[in-house]
Amino acid sequence: MDTTTQTGLHADLLVIGFGKGGSLVAAHMGRLGRRVVLVEESAHMYGGTCPNIGCVPTKALVHHAQGRRPGDPPQEWYEGAVGEVQALSAKFRAGNFASMNGADTVTVVTGHAVFAGPHTVDIDLSGELADAGDVADMVVGDSLRVTADTILINTGARPIVPDIPGLRDSKRTVISTELIQTTTLPERLAIVGAGYLGIEFASIYRRFGSRVTLFERTRRILGHEDDDAVAAAIAILEDEGVEIITGAQIKEVRDGENEATIVYEKDGDEHTVDADTILAASGRAPVIQDLGLEAAGVRTTPRGAVEVDEHLRTSQPHIYALGDVRGGPQHTYLSLDDGRIVLDQLAGDGSRSTADRVAIPRTLFITPPLAAVGLTEKEAREAGHRVKIAMQAVADITAMPRSYIVEDTRGLMKFVIDAESDQILGATLLSIDAQELVNTVALAIRHGVTAAELRDAVYTHPTSTEAFNGVLGVIVRSDGE
């Protein structure tokens, strides 16, 4: 079909950003025969954050760090690991591009997109790796104009470097993207921010052999997680050699000839820590700058995200926002579900929404991983539940021989259960395979499986799942009779 216009290219669907949710919609609509244009700013980001600078490379580094033995040279092992991880990301990136651009009705354009109106986007192709793909003949100067019936904003988020004197200007400050691409292992790594990102990197780089100092301005790391599990996680991190400094107010960063010095205040006293590399790990902010959202009439929130409703529509009904850019928890699997919601609007009955999400799990990939779903004990009590708590240290769960087989019996499992209905309200799992186990618990919560049913189910042996046979029978405290 002829999709040219007097001003450029017309598409049924325009997707800005090659993230998980947007690419899911683009691929599906392409299979339905719709004319789709997918714009990605960087040729190094085909597939989005996860396979290139997020989940895949960082979790691959977790794997490689676990494999280093005490006698393995840290720098040599790290350099080899980074090379393998980069090769893996390149493989994913090429596969993502080929699978998308190979569709008959889908065109991938590499350039920077800016709204010129509610239905119009101009793509700047002046960048070094810019590529207009199979619509190069429609480029005027360095720009391609695309009009579309439906537009998806899927631009993700970028790391925040906090406004601490000297931090942004320091030659030794890096963001996570830069750190995982360097082949030089920092001898002394300081991490500013003890959220999931900061803690994961602390665990990874300590295992590679760096001396790691983790700074957190609040009095406790992981303040939103279960108290018992956090205490156990802190003990594991500190036992591995991570120095955790909480209640730390960083005053400034000073660059020296061979190092940077972090000046911080704790309990009224001033202290310093020297580092070869400083990782800014204070979270990620939605990428909305330079998109021209005002020209499109798209509203944003006070926190700097694109404003959406429960169906992910923006203030312009034909424009949707998916993934990190729409605010809220920043998880790839939620971006994927965002894609399902939008697809339901475009090619389904339109009933699916973010309100359908129940018991969404999360995992912190330290070693062993910390995974959680639902309510913590404190949250359950504050919500008015009478609860019973099933909890056991992994080393004491006789029904879980796998932890001994793989030689890691650290951690604990804890379930928060409604004392009257026996419904599982939440769980926190700090153990080997926790990132997998938590999905089973989440499914149980969504479908009303009771704690007794989960406890008495038949699981294969020897597996981590069969730990549920044991821990759910160990009630350590109860509000019931």
Q: Which residues are annotated as a binding site for NAD(+)?
A: 193-200, 216, 283
Pick the closest to residue 301 from 318, 326, 271 (CA basis).
326
Sign, Cα dihedral of 99, 101, 106, 109: positive
The residues, any chain, with a CB within 8 Å of residue 481's CB and separated by 6 or more, are none
Binding site per annotation, positions = 59, 127, 193-200, 216, 283, 324
Binding site per annotation, positions for FAD = 59, 127, 324
| Cα–Cα distance measured from residue 447 to residue 14, given in angstroms and rounded to the nearest whole number | 37
Known catalytic residues? 461
